[in-house]
């Protein structure tokens, strides 16, 4: 026969599992149902296993939905687990290895990965977004050129409020490859609205930006009056962790090179 503390923890566990899929079932109510149905230890344990299974299934389904809607690559996903942190050396390498804790998300600080192509900026951004999904936070990934196109269509179609709102909602918004395109004045103003509204959010959130160009030159990729540009960049980097990355490219690590040579064909001798 289970003692009172064990029974209480069983009721509380069922209550917690029910809450995981948004069912309000206080532990006291679980106990009342168990008493009314004459549950013994075995029946209570079975009920607990059912609720734990349902909670696990609900959690897995929610994570799968977050990943599907995130636009992060699902084939060969980029994770912190398969990122080669050993290649990242230097004074602040430990800060990079601390990314999986999602401290920036909870501190509402922006993240920027800046450095040459192939060094792992996008891979780290995708890993951060995936980790956010795994913790239950909505993530959205797009290239800077895709964001530009979407903003341009919004201006033409009169749907700017809807598009800006959609970019503000995700807890983690990843904009990859800043500097591959230039935002015109209208798009720059909308980009400022996105950055500004995210800056004011009081819930865990972080934009993650990547680019090949030093951040002090990012104003080259946004057209508009100087005040808007200054405000936009101030909002981005006022509370931010900027990772300046250097070193050789990761690309081609699995490439094998074979040297072969073609020689003239040898004609058969006639007897």
Q: Where are the domains of the chain?
A: 4-64, 85-244
Containing 257, the helix (H) or strand (E) segment is: none
CA-nearest of 33, 41, 29, 54 to 2 is 41
Residue 252 confidence (pLDDT) above 70: no
HSE toward the beta carbon, residue 123, CA cutoff 13 A:
19
Q: What tokens were used for 48?
A: 């607990």
Note whether 174 and 213 are within 8 A (CB).
no
Residue 252 is given by DSSP the state T
Q: What is the pLDDT of residue 265?
A: 72
Read off the tokens for 241.
Answer: 């962790």
**CATH class of the domain whose range is 85-244:** alpha beta
Highest-pLDDT range among 44-48, 202-206, 245-249:
202-206
What's the pLDDT score for residue 1?
44
Q: Where are the beta strands (DSSP E) in the chain?
A: 110-114, 139-143, 172-178, 206-211, 240-244
Cα distances (Å, whole numbers) of residue 155 to 50, 136, 144, 160: 51, 32, 17, 6
Return the structure tokens found at 183. Answer: 């935002």
User: Residue 75, Cα to own-chain centre: how many angstroms?
Assistant: 16
116: Cβ–Cβ under 8 A, 6 or more apart, which residues?
Answer: 212, 245, 246, 247, 249
Cα gap 200→193, rounded to integer Å:
11
pLDDT digits (tens, 9 = 90+) for 223-233: 888 888 888 88
Helical segments of 76-143, H only: 93-97, 103-107, 121-134
**Which run of H or of E encompasses 193?**
helix 185-200
Q: What is the pLDDT of residue 152?
A: 97
The contacts of residue 170 (CB under 8 Å, 6+ apart) are: 138, 139, 140, 205
DSSP 224: S
Asked whether residue 105 carries a pLDDT value surpassing 90, the answer given is yes
Each residue's pLDDT tens digit, 79-94: 999 998 888 888 888 9
| Better pLDDT: 31 or 152 | 152
Q: Which of 197, 131, 136, 132 is nearest to 169 (CA)?
A: 197
Answer yes or no: is pLDDT of 143 > 70. Answer: yes
């Amino acid at each position: 026969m289970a003692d009172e503390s064990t029974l209480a923890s069983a009721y509380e566990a069922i209550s917690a599992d029910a809450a995981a899929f948004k069912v309000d079932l206080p532990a006291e109510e679980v106990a009342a149902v168990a008493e009314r149905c004459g549950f013994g230890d075995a029946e209570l344990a079975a009920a607990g296993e059912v609720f734990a299974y349902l909670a696990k299934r609900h959690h897995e389904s929610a994570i799968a939905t977050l990943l599907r809607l995130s636009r992060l690559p699902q084939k060969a996903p980029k994770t912190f687990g398969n990122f080669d942190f050993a290649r990242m050396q230097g004074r602040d390498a430990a800060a990079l290895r601390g990314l999986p804790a999602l401290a920036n998300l909870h501190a509402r600080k922006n993240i920027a990965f800046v450095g040459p192509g192939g060094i792992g900026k996008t891979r780290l951004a995708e890993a951060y977004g995936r980790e956010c999904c795994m913790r239950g936070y909505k993530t959205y990934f797009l290239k800077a050129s895709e964001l530009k196109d979407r903003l341009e269509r919004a201006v033409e179609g009169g749907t700017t409020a809807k598009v800006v709102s959609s970019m503000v909602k995700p807890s983690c918004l990843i904009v990859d490859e800043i500097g591959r395109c230039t935002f015109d004045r209208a798009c720059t103003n909308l980009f400022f609205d996105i950055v500004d509204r995210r800056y004011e959010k009081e819930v865990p959130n972080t934009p993650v930006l990547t680019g090949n160009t030093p951040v002090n030159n990012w104003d080259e990729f946004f057209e508009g009056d100087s005040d808007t540009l200054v405000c936009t960049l101030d909002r981005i980097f006022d509370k931010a962790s900027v990772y300046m990355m250097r070193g050789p490219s990761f690309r081609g690590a699995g490439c094998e090179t074979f040297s072969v040579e073609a020689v003239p064909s040898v004609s058969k001798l006639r007897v």
